[in-house]
């Protein structure tokens, strides 16, 4: 395989591992230069489309695809954030094919101008003059709707007059049409005080920050007032504004007016893999995000990994002649002596914390992609890692290579059954699944049913000299686990087999003798496998329970046929399974199975009961 084919194969593997999440992707050429930046609602679907032969691909796209030697991606929270991040990266990187294939643009903000009687208007120029900026908005329609809401709620001026106290006191201005139609209170002629106007500005800023409660209370009261006055058309318009308010959101950390120049460095060390995400924010906009893997050698601590990552980031900045940042957001405080000129921040709330969470999300996805790659290329190594992780998470004496899980099924005590499913090396072993009919328990008693099933199952394994599981999972909490453990104790298996209970409500893990639940990582593979085996036991048990109920119904129906004995009923059920099939069977065929007289009686019974009504049974 030549080098070009190796490159294409590597790119295809990376595409296959992309997440189904919104984000931004970057194509790099053989020299490592970014040649294209794009956004996607679904990264895997969008990027995959470039590598499928399609007649609608333009010549320029085909040329670009042939130059792709590598790809990177950044995951964000929404499609709107992807749009903004794409815009930032295009401006920063100036990729060749973005210039050829699409136009870059600036997204609009809403500004509350720093001036007497401040105006609120749309702008695409971000000027740091003390004014308050909100946005940016990926949708101009939404921005205009917000401005309309603010102007409809608060009568604010739209003119460009200088309304300093000296200019107003001179009396050189006169009210305009906006005053006469009620859109302005006339601050230009002194009809509105600065204090009253400032109250309106404060309310408008609340809306722009996302605090919609004052506006919602106002519109709700206004809608009720109009409806009570029988002004239904106007009330409907106010209701539309209320619905628009409920869907409005102005927050985004991809571009934020509250952030300045800073960098984010996040380190994730989990399951034997360490990843670092580095983001650079310039003038409130994310202009760089890159995730890389760090290969530890000596079980380095999180502090040591963070120090190494910071060293890598700062050395790269020096090579690119980028000055060291004054502020770096980190998940924990590093050794101050190593980086004396840098101010480190561990945020507790706000946009900086959201940036740190975004970096964490990208690290976790990079780890997941790595494990998916290992699963495809080296499944044995993937299995060994998961088994070692489960042993550690569940505090087991051995790796749980062989797991059994039990579940009970009944409806108001009828047809009680139990199921046992088996997982080997973290995967279902369906040939080893088992069903149990509950024999000694009367009514709906899950605890006693579990004790019976475990006694029968492991009593038989011990008697036959079969290997015992490394872990037994009980579907339920403390109650079910205590009865299960009691059954194992009677068999002399205490200390020989590990057993845990998994409660469904909060996915809590219980251990014998411990009244308090334990919680595993909600996104970790250990809990995912436990939930999978528990859900599989439930599915398998429910399927068997439905089959048993169906057979019992058919049996009870056939017992109503005069002249049919138990032997004839069992023969019919074994061969035909449903009443509809029996009703459609020729009389001669039935006669061979149960005799001519009984066959005639059976068909007469179906006719009297209307065989059409039995068609689905």
> Which one is predicted more confidently, 461 or 575?
461
Q: Could you write out the DSSP letters of every residue in 544-593?
A: HHHHHHHHHHHHHHHTTSTT--HHHHHHHHHHH-SHHHHHHS-HHHHHHH
pLDDT of 411 = 47
> Residue 551 pLDDT more than 70?
no
Q: What is the pLDDT of residues 136-192, one digit of tens each?
A: 676 676 678 778 878 877 888 989 888 888 888 888 888 898 888 888 988 898 888
> Residue 555 pLDDT more than 60?
no
- Cα–Cα dist 131/136, whole Å: 15
Going by pLDDT thresholds of 50, 70 and 90, the confidence category of residue 616 is very low
pLDDT of 419 = 82
**pLDDT over 90, % of the chain:** 4
Average pLDDT over residues 534-548: 72
> Residue 557 pLDDT more than 60?
yes
pLDDT of 611 = 41
pLDDT of 572 = 77
**pLDDT over 70, % of the chain:** 82
pLDDT of 284 = 72
Name the packing angle between helices 140-153 and 232-247 (round to 10°): 130
Sheet holding 34-40, edge to edge: 34-40, 23-28, 70-75
């992780």: which residue's tokens?
A: 389
- Cα–Cα dist 363/146, whole Å: 35
Q: What is the pLDDT of residues 286-297, one digit of tens each?
A: 777 888 887 765
Q: What is the pLDDT of residues 38-49, one digit of tens each?
A: 888 888 888 888
The average confidence (pLDDT) of the chain is 79
> Residue 528 pLDDT more than 90?
no
pLDDT of 469 = 92
Containing 420, the helix (H) or strand (E) segment is strand 414-424
> Residue 614 pLDDT more than 70?
no
> Residue 306 pLDDT more than 90?
no
- Cα–Cα dist 508/391, whole Å: 17
- Cα–Cα dist 157/188, whole Å: 9
pLDDT of 253 = 63
3-state secondary structure 236-280: HHHHHHHHHHHHCCCCCCCECCCCCCEEEEEEEEECCEEEEEEEE
Going by pLDDT thresholds of 50, 70 and 90, the confidence category of residue 248 is low
pLDDT of 423 = 92
- Cα–Cα dist 184/198, whole Å: 14
Q: Are 598 and 564 within 8 A, CB to CB?
A: yes
Range with lowest mean pLDDT among 98-112, 223-237, 444-458: 98-112
pLDDT of 242 = 75
Q: Whole-model pTM above 0.75? A: no
Going by pLDDT thresholds of 50, 70 and 90, the confidence category of residue 313 is confident
pLDDT of 145 = 73
pLDDT of 118 = 92
3-state secondary structure 92-138: HHCCHHHHHHCCCCCCCEEEECCCCCCCEEEECCCCCCCCEEECCCC
> Residue 615 pLDDT more than 60?
no
pLDDT of 299 = 61
Range with lowest mean pLDDT among 88-97, 107-116, 198-207: 88-97
Q: What is the pLDDT of residues 264-286, one digit of tens each?
A: 999 887 766 788 888 888 777 77
Q: Could you write out the DSSP letters of every residue in 340-373?
A: TT-EEE---SHHHHHHHHHHHHHHHHHHHHHHHH
> Residue 613 pLDDT more than 50?
no
Q: Report in angstroms the alpha-carbon separations of 368 from 264, 271, 356, 357, 533.
A: 21, 11, 19, 16, 21
What proportions of the chain, in percent to the nearest 5, are helix, strand and coil? 50, 20, 35
Containing 327, the helix (H) or strand (E) segment is strand 327-329
> Residue 2 pLDDT more than 50?
yes
* C-alpha angle 83-89-92 in degrees, rounded to nearest 5: 145
Average pLDDT over residues 210-238: 82
Range with lowest mean pLDDT among 222-226, 413-417, 434-438: 413-417
pLDDT of 400 = 92
> Residue 35 pLDDT more than 50?
yes
């Amino acid at each position: 395989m030549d080098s070009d084919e190796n490159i294409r194969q590597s790119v295809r593997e990376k595409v296959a591992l992309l997440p189904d999440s919104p984000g931004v992707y970057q194509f790099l050429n053989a020299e490592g230069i970014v040649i294209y930046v794009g956004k996607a609602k679904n990264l895997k679907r969008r990027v995959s489309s470039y590598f499928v032969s399609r007649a609608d691909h333009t010549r320029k796209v085909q040329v670009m695809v042939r130059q792709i030697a590598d790809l990177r991606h950044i995951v964000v929270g929404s499609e709107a954030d992807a749009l903004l991040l794409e815009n930032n990266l295009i401006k920063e990187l100036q990729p060749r094919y973005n210039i050829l294939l699409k136009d870059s643009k600036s997204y609009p903000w809403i500004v509350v101008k720093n001036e007497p009687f401040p105006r609120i208007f749309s702008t695409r120029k971000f000027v740091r003059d003390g004014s308050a900026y909100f946005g940016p908005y990926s949708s101009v329609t939404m921005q205009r709707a917000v401005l309309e809401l603010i102007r409809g709620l608060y009568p604010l001026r739209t003119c460009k007059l200088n309304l300093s106290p000296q200019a107003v006191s001179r009396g050189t201005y006169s009210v305009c049409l906006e005053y006469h139609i009620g859109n302005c209170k006339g601050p230009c002629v002194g009809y509105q005080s600065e204090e009253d106007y400032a109250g309106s500005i404060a309310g408008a800023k609340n809306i722009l920050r996302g605090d919609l409660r004052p506006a919602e209370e106002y519109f709700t009261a206004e809608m009720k007032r109009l409806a009570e006055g029988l002004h239904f058309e106007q009330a409907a318009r106010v209701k539309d504004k209320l619905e628009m308010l409920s869907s409005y959101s102005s927050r985004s950390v991809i571009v934020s007016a509250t952030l300045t120049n800073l960098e984010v460095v996040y380190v994730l060390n989990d399951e034997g893999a360490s990843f670092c995400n580095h983001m650079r924010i310039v003038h409130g906009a994310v202009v760089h995000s890159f995730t890389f893997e760090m290969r530890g050698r000596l079980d380095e601590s999180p502090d040591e990994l963070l120090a190494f990552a910071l060293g890598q980031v700062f050395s790269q900045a020096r090579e690119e002649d980028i000055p060291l940042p004054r502020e770096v957001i980190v998940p924990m405080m590093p050794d101050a002596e190593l980086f004396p000129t840098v101010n480190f921040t561990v945020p507790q709330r706000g946009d900086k914390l959201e940036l740190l969470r975004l970096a964490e999300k990208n690290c976790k996805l990079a780890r997941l992609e790595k494990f998916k790659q290992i699963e495809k290329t080296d499944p044995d190594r993937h299995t060994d890692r998961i088994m070692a992780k489960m042993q550690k998470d569940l505090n087991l004496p051995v790796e749980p290579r062989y797991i059994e899980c039990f579940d009970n099924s009944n409806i108001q005590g009828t047809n009680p059954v139990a199921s046992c499913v088996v997982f080997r090396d973290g995967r279902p072993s369906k040939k080893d699944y088992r069903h149990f009919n509950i024999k000694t328990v009367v009514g709906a008693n899950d605890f006693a049913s579990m004790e019976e099933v475990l006694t029968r199952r492991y009593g038989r394994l011990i008697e036959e000299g079969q290997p015992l599981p490394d872990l037994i999972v009980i579907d339920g909490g403390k109650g079910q686990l205590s009865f299960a453990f009691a059954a194992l104790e009677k068999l002399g298996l205490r200390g020989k087999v590990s057993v845990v209970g998994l409660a469904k409500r909060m996915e809590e893990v219980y251990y014998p003798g411990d009244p308090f639940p334990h919680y595993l990582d909600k996104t970790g593979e250990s809990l995912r496998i436990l939930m999978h085996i528990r859900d599989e036991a439930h599915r398998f048990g429910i399927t068997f329970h439905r089959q048993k109920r169906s057979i019992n119904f058919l049996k009870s129906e056939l017992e109503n046929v005069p002249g049919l004995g138990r032997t004839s009923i069992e023969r019919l059920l074994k061969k035909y399974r449903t009443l509809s099939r029996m009703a459609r069977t020729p009389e001669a065929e039935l006669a061979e199975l149960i005799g001519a007289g009984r066959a005639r009686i059976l068909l007469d019974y179906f006719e009297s009961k209307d065989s059409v009504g039995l068609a689905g049974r």
